[in-house]
Homo-oligomer: A and B are copies of this chain.
Amino acid sequence: MHILITGGGGFLGQKLARKLAANGKLRGQEITAMTLMDVAVPACPDAGFPINAEACDVSDEAAVGRLFAKHGPFDVIYHLAAVVSGAAEADFDLGMRVNLMGSLNMFQAARAQGNCPVVVYASSIAAHGGEEPDVIVDGVELNPQTSYGAQKVMGELLLNDMSRKGFMDGRGLRLPTVSIRPGKANAAASSFMSSIFRDTMQGDTSNCPVGRDFLIFHSAPRTVVENLVIAGEIDGAEFGFNRCLNLPGRSDTVGEMIAAMTKVFGPEAEARITWDSDPVIEKIVNGWRNRVISEKALRLGFVQDKSFEDTVRWFLEDDIARPA
């Protein structure tokens, strides 16, 4: 069982690699090797099997071919590599190259192996928006309102069709906003959804540009990683005609999430939050969907956070002890 993780240097790729290394198995088989690839050489976690770390740009078809020739064939491929929403919005062609053509390159390389590998693809809740109901249920027309979302959904269609053709055994997960995301604040409109917890618990101030009753659809990194593993375990046929689905998440208000942080961490963090509203960010995040009923995913055995208190505890355990 050889596993490839693209975007293997990102915080999710690293957490997934550590989880798989700890499990030692996937799909009932011993993991015998893992390859992590990213634009820069990713860090390697400790593992009971060899790990290859490679710098490889998914948008470079020839480089992807070389990586598969060197380390493949892979049995399970986690395709997490992507240009994030802000960057894909600022540079349309960059997003197309990495998010669309990069996915096409990975899927074609997976197909060329001839072994119909399991491919787990990270799509996004950004698939939703625009002409959609306020509460997202399974089966509503995807209507992304960002280039990132559009490119992710094009990858979903490719994954579905290439799975139907028997080229690969694909599974696509639309990830909720991942909070509490480790690392640094970034320019994403959603950055505050992690930083008002992450940074304040570490002694820094952080601004919340929306009000306390703003609703966030979120999932903890640990839960998202668990769902990525589950996606690799499930029998492909269980997905039915559509290999892509909305992952479960929680819908909590900013106020509820802060209260959960205070309960676990104490009141010092909240005191470091400032409340300067930002109409630009407010406009963007008000266009998002924040209520999702993920019936299909729950039926297939994907898991859901039980509380934001858990998320705060896991952040302190996983990310303060070991910064990502």
Are A141 and B144 within 8 A (Cβ)?
A: no
Question: Which of B132, B133, B241 lies in contact with A145, CB distance below 8 A?
Answer: B241
- In the complex the two chains form, what is the Cα distance from A242 to B104 in whole Å? 25
Residues of B within 8 A of A142 (CB): 141-142, 157
Interface residues of chain A, those whose CB is within 8 Å of chain B, are: 92, 96, 104, 129-133, 138-145, 147, 150-151, 153-154, 157-158, 160-162, 164-165, 167, 240-242
Are B157 and A153 within 8 A (Cβ)?
A: yes
Are A242 and B158 within 8 A (Cβ)?
A: no
Interchain nearest-CB distance for A140 vs B (Å): 6
Interchain nearest-CB distance for A290 vs B (Å): 17
Q: What is the copy number of this chain in the assembly?
A: 2
Interchain nearest-CB distance for A208 vs B (Å): 28
- Please judge, given known A-B contacts A140-B141, A145-B241, whether A158 and B165 are in contact too, CB under 8 Å: no
Residues of B within 8 A of A158 (CB): 150, 154
Closest B residue by C-beta to A241? B130
Are B160 and A143 within 8 A (Cβ)?
A: yes
Are B242 and A165 within 8 A (Cβ)?
A: no
Are B165 and A131 within 8 A (Cβ)?
A: no
Q: List 26 A-B contacts (CB under 8 A).
A: A92-B167, A130-B240, A130-B241, A130-B242, A131-B242, A138-B141, A139-B141, A141-B141, A141-B142, A141-B242, A142-B142, A142-B157, A144-B157, A144-B160, A145-B164, A145-B241, A147-B161, A147-B165, A150-B158, A150-B160, A150-B161, A153-B157, A154-B154, A154-B157, A154-B158, A157-B157
